[in-house]
Amino acid sequence: MTKDNNNMTDEQLNKIADQVVSKMMKLKTMEEWFKTIESSANRNDMEDDYTRLELDEEATAYGELAKLMTLMDICKQDEEYEKCAIINNRIQHVNKIIKKYNK
């Protein structure tokens, strides 16, 4: 086996590459899962219920933030860190919405 400048064998490099690709595939799968769950939730009667409440964007954002924080806690407890990363991105987006009302 050949060694490169970092003293790693081709086998070691391939193992690392496989691990990186595996992690990236898991993240993509989790992102697709999250989108599927979100879109299916939007298609049912829950959306009609929220519409009837006539909540403004700020109140809706706070509700979404509470939901995401709960999901984050569950995923942390289950050590599902890929899900945590996806949820964290959503939390950042919701925080931007909330921030524009707190100026």
Banded model confidence at residue 35, pLDDT cuts 50, 70, 90? confident
User: What is the residue range of 89's domain?
Assistant: 28-99
Count of domains forming the chain: 1
Query: Contact at 8 Å (CB) between 59 and 29?
Result: no
pLDDT at 4: 46
> Averaged over 20-42, what is the pLDDT?
72
In a domain, 23, yes or no: no
In a domain, 35, yes or no: yes
Residue type, 69: M
Which residue do the tokens 């999901």 mark? Answer: 71
Q: Is the pLDDT of residue 87 over 80?
A: yes
In a domain, 11, yes or no: no
In a domain, 38, yes or no: yes
Of 34, 37, 35, give the one whose Cα is nearest residue 84: 34
- Collapse the DSSP code of 29 into the 3-class scheme (helix H, G, I; strand E, B; otherwise coil) and give the result: helix
In a domain, 45, yes or no: yes
Q: Which of 10-24, 32-46, 87-101 has the weakest average pLDDT?
A: 32-46
In a domain, 12, yes or no: no
Q: Is the pLDDT of residue 99 over 90?
A: yes
Structure-block tokens of residue 97? 């919405």
- Partnered with residue 3 across adjacent β-strands are 9
∠ Cα 87 93 25 (to 5°): 40
